[in-house]
Amino acid sequence: MSFTVIRRFGTDVEANLALGLLRTNGIEAHLNDEHLVSDAPGFAGMLGGIKLVVPADREIEARALLDEYVAIDEDTLAAADDSQVEIMLREAGALLTGHFKLTSGRHSDAYVEKIRLINQPQMVVKLCAMLAARMRHIESDVVVGPAMGGIVLAYEVAKALGRRFVFSQRFDGRMGVRSGFPLKQGNRAIIIEDITTTGGSIVEVIDCLRERGVEVAGVGLIVDRSGGAIDFDVPTFALLSLDIQSWEPSDCPLCASKQPITKPGSSDK
């Protein structure tokens, strides 16, 4: 199969964002540079830029997609504020207002629908590129995402940063990492999660990584529902920080005003 170069980039984040856009739309694409293959994209800026290549018979389609996509540099991505992210989540139907019964049994007037964060791949690519841009200065070897919500997001951040990807899950009720993943003592990890309220799952991931001699260098969140109250004792970055109120059913003002209640989510916890 014949491949052709359709664009060159000066940064890993911008290149991987374009790569993700093409692959999301079913176009085979790869990153290379003038002297190195994509296994070492961090050097590309010094050696002539990163090349985006596609099959020659998909060139016109790929160029059209990239022409529709307005490239955003890393500084612009990193500077995106809460209001921009909130608009994106509301338009995706991920940030809801109303009267909700939470998994904890408490009631709230706002809810973040986790599944709607990941059912639109192009939004996922952009949100993860924003998060990667904010965390690009952190020295790391691997990006870790707790199952299930963090897997897709951590993968996209790892791709944008040019890092390895690992996911964690519970084994017999205890958080762990599959033995097949190449984690070594002395590695530095970034943890990526979709939404956190109490931070309990992230603390479990931090503990299991430290047990393996892995240093946690930072935590990245799409939404922090604690309003910044959670402290993981490592640098933490959230695209959107919300201080969402909740009440015991007996104290809920929405119940008192007889507003209909819904129980969102599908985890059946």
Q: What is the pLDDT of residues 7-65, one digit of tens each?
A: 887 766 677 778 877 887 889 999 886 544 444 444 443 445 788 999 999 999 988 87
Of 71, 90, 111, the position where a domain reaches its end is 71
In three-state secondary structure terms, 48 is: coil
Among residues 71, 86, 108, the one where a domain terminates is 71
Residue 32: how many other CB atoms lie within 10 Å = 17
Between 75 and 92, whose confidence is greater? Answer: 92
Do the domain assignments include residue 19? yes
**Residue 40 DSSP one-character state:** S
* 199 and 89 in a common domain: yes
Whether 198 and 109 map to the same domain: the answer is yes
Domain-embedded: residue 197: yes
Clarify whether residues 41 and 170 are in a common domain.
Answer: no
Tell me if 196 sits within 8 A of 202, measured CB to CB: yes
The more confidently predicted of residues 209 and 76 is: 209
Are 92 and 118 within 8 A, CB to CB?
Answer: no
Would residue 264 count as lying in a domain? no
Top pLDDT among 77 and 133 is at 133
The answer to whether residues 219 and 190 touch, using CB atoms and an 8 Å cutoff, is yes
Residues 129 and 165 in one domain: yes
Residue 88: cis peptide before it, omega within 30 degrees of 0: no
**In angstroms, rounded to a whole number, what is the distance separating the alpha carbons of residues 196 and 193?**
7
The sign of the dihedral angle between the CA atoms of 196, 200, 203, 209 is negative
List the single range of 120-129, 143-152, 153-162 with lowest mean pLDDT: 120-129
In this structure, the strands spanning 174-177 and 107-112 are unpaired
Half-sphere exposure of 204 (CA within 13 A, CB side): 19
Shared domain check, 186 and 136 = yes
**Helix, strand, or coil (residue 210):** helix
Decide if 94 contacts 67 (C-beta within 8 A). no
For residue 30, the domain's CATH number is 3.30.70.1530
Are 193 and 230 members of one domain? yes
pLDDT in tens, 219-230: 999 999 888 888
Domain count across the chain: 2
Give the pLDDT band (50/70/90) at residue 258: very high
- Residue-number span of the structural domain to which 222 is assigned: 76-256
* Last residue within a domain, chosen from 37, 53, 71: 71
Q: Is residue 199 pLDDT above 90, yes or no? A: no
Eight-state DSSP code of residue 211: H
* 132 belongs to a structural domain: yes
- pLDDT band for position 149 (cuts 50, 70, 90): confident
Q: How far apart are CA 141 and CA 126, in angstroms?
A: 22
Q: Looking at the domain assignment, is residue 213 inside a domain? A: yes
Indicate the pairing of strand 188-196 with strand 142-146. parallel
Measured CA to CA, the distance from residue 128 to residue 151 in angstroms comes to 12
Task: Say if 266 falls within a structural domain.
Answer: no
Residues 27 and 144 in one domain: no
Region 202-222: what's the mean pLDDT? 95
